[in-house]
């Protein structure tokens, strides 16, 4: 699915955004994090693209600056509390504020996820460290800045795997837990003017979703056709741009009275049970 052709200019003027996971798995399409970073910048935000792979973050920044928008890159291991602290301190020092925190990091197949009776305990712990603890650590350091400003928006990327049958226990359980974390942060920070929401992408044609399955030996065309058939709306998967536009809405003033929600971006897949 191609990029959505609508004007977003000015919707986030003068905002400063951190997009955690703003690089992406290499592949033929755009990932949720990269698309979101590009779109927030098009809307006027200065975007700090954080990723464990600095080179991938630099690629996203290059895409943003090539369009005449503002961004810089940061290397971040999401399981490291000190690195989160240093990133927030750097952003405040460089830009004076943090208006948006967008948490897009998550791993499943590529991280060794498996059936509940087959998953290695150390792998289970690692998945929870990346998929949930990393989100909490980012919020732990960014939200105090937002509290002082009495404004801010956090969006956590969960998954429709939290709502539907999903065979891999690590991804399923961490994405369910992320909804609880989102609700907790929303409830405890509303008095400070900080909004916290979640997005649940459904079947997306993104590198994270496709490339790991291709690497396991299934032909790309077969993977795409099988996933397309499961989407009621148009019998076609969504793209990173669909997630990015949902994120732009939640981060914008248009969503100023919305907090604690889990927004399904799934082409109606949730209606099928």
pLDDT digits (tens, 9 = 90+) for 66-93: 999 999 999 999 999 999 999 999 999 9
Q: What is the band of 212 on the pLDDT scale with cuts at 50, 70, 90?
A: confident
Q: What is the band of 214 on the pLDDT scale with cuts at 50, 70, 90?
A: very high
Is the Cβ–Cβ distance between 194 and 146 less than 8 Å?
Answer: yes
Q: What is the mean pLDDT of the chain?
A: 96
Lowest mean pLDDT among 131-140, 197-206, 211-220, 230-239: 211-220
135 occurs within a structural domain:
yes
221 occurs within a structural domain:
no
Residue positions annotated with a catalytic role: 171
User: At residue 1, does pLDDT exceed 80?
Assistant: no
User: At residue 22, does pLDDT exceed 80?
Assistant: yes
Q: What is the band of 6 on the pLDDT scale with cuts at 50, 70, 90?
A: confident
The CB density around residue 6, as the number of other CB atoms within 10 Å, is 6
6 occurs within a structural domain:
no
233 occurs within a structural domain:
no
How many domains would you assign to the chain? 1
93 occurs within a structural domain:
yes
Q: What was the pLDDT predicted at 4?
A: 82
142 occurs within a structural domain:
yes
Q: What was the pLDDT predicted at 2?
A: 63
Q: What was the pLDDT predicted at 110?
A: 87
Beta strand residue intervals within the chain, DSSP E: 16-20, 46-51, 71-75, 100-103, 152-157, 194-201, 262-265
Q: Report the alpha-carbon distance of residue 249 to residue 214 in Å, rounded.
A: 32
209 occurs within a structural domain:
no
Q: What is the band of 226 on the pLDDT scale with cuts at 50, 70, 90?
A: very high
- pLDDT, tens digit, 9 for 90 and up, residues 247-256: 999 999 999 9
User: At residue 273, does pLDDT exceed 80?
Assistant: no
Q: Report the alpha-carbon distance of residue 220 to residue 210 in Å, rounded.
A: 7
Q: Report the alpha-carbon distance of residue 135 to residue 237 in Å, rounded.
A: 26
215 occurs within a structural domain:
no
Cβ neighbours for 52, distance < 8 A, ≥ 6 positions apart: 23, 75, 76, 77, 78
User: At residue 263, does pLDDT exceed 80?
Assistant: yes
Residue range 184-192: mean pLDDT, rounded: 98
CATH number at residue 128: 3.40.50.720
* Structural domain of 135: 16-203+239-262
């Amino acid at each position: 699915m191609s990029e959505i052709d609508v004007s977003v200019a000015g919707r986030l003027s003068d905002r400063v955004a951190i997009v955690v996971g703003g690089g992406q798995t290499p592949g033929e399409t755009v990932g949720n994090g990269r698309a979101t970073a590009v779109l927030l910048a098009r809307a006027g935000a200065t975007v700090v693209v954080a990723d464990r792979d600095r080179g991938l973050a630099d690629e996203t920044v290059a895409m943003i600056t090539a369009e005449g928008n503002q961004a810089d890159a940061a290397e971040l291991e999401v399981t490291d509390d000190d690195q989160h602290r240093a990133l927030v301190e750097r952003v405040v020092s460089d830009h004076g504020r943090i208006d948006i925190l967008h948490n897009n990091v998550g791993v499943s197949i590529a991280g060794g996820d498996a059936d509940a009776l087959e998953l290695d305990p150390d792998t289970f712990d690692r998945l929870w460290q990346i998929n949930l603890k990393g989100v909490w650590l980012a919020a732990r350091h960014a939200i105090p800045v937002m509290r002082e400003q009495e404004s801010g928006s956090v969006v956590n990327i969960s998954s429709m795997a939290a709502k539907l049958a999903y065979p891999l226990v690590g991804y399923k359980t961490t994405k369910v837990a992320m909804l609880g974390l989102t609700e907790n942060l929303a409830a405890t920070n509303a008095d400070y003017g900080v909004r916290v929401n979640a997005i649940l992408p459904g079947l997306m044609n993104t590198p994270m979703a496709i490339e790991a399955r291709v690497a396991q030996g299934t032909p790309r065309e077969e993977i795409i056709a099988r996933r397309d058939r499961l989407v009621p709306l148009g019998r076609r998967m969504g793209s990173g741009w669909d997630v990015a536009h949902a994120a732009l809405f939640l981060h914008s003033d248009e969503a100023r009275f919305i907090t604690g929600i889990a927004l399904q971006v799934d082409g109606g897949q949730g209606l099928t049970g």
